[in-house]
Amino acid sequence: MPGGFIMERPKMSKATWEALKAHILLERRKKKEEQEADAAEERERKERERRRKESQMTLGETREELERLEQRKMALNEEKHELFLQLKKVLNQEETQRRQQILKEQQVRQAETDILRIGGASYPPPGTIQLGGHPPPMFMQPLSLTRPPLYKMEPRPSVVAPVCFPKDWFAILETLLAYKATPKKFTY
């Protein structure tokens, strides 16, 4: 280097070198700690800000949640109402079927008693319990112990109406005629 002046520094002693090194390391450590403290303070500030925003949003979210729950409640109430109506329909259908079954059974019993009356026998229909030890008389009519009617009825025509028999009337008649009433004794 033609125009330059080079100056040499004097060599440092080992103790000075160690002191300088310790001072530099201490400054770096302090600077690093300050940066970490600033970062921690920034994190805390951001966390406080986030919580504040969250609490503000929580109020809105709470309102939205309440609206959703109200809508769900209304939907469940509608579903409950529909299910209740279905239950009423099913119960009504079952009641109607039960009534029809009872009516059908009564018609069958009436048909059996009509067949017995036509056949001339006056045995009780199957399933009834006879209290006495003797069968009822065959040609005796039951006594009527009822009051006279409160209103006048038209007299019935003396012509006997044709009797309609069920399809299997002969089988029913055979089973009824084959039925032997056995007196039941009651013990108390």
pLDDT above 80 for 24: yes
pLDDT, average across residues 33-55: 92
DSSP 120: T
pLDDT, average across residues 54-72: 86
pLDDT above 60 for 56: yes
Q: Which residue has better confidence, 115 or 81?
A: 81
Tokens of 111: 């048909």
> How high is the mean pLDDT of the chain?
77
| Lowest mean pLDDT across 9-13, 67-71, 93-97, 132-136 | 132-136
> What is the share, in percent, of the chain residues with pLDDT greater than 70?
61
In the three-class reduction of DSSP (H, G, I as helix; E, B as strand; rest coil), residue 8 is classed as coil
Q: Are 112 and 124 in contact (CB under 8 A)?
A: no
Please tell me the distance from the alpha carbon of residue 127 to that of residue 95, in angstroms, as a whole number.
25
pLDDT above 70 for 44: yes
Q: At what angle do helices 169-178 and 14-119 cross, to 10 degrees?
A: 80
User: What is the model's pLDDT at position 134?
Assistant: 54
Matching residue, tokens 């966390």: 47
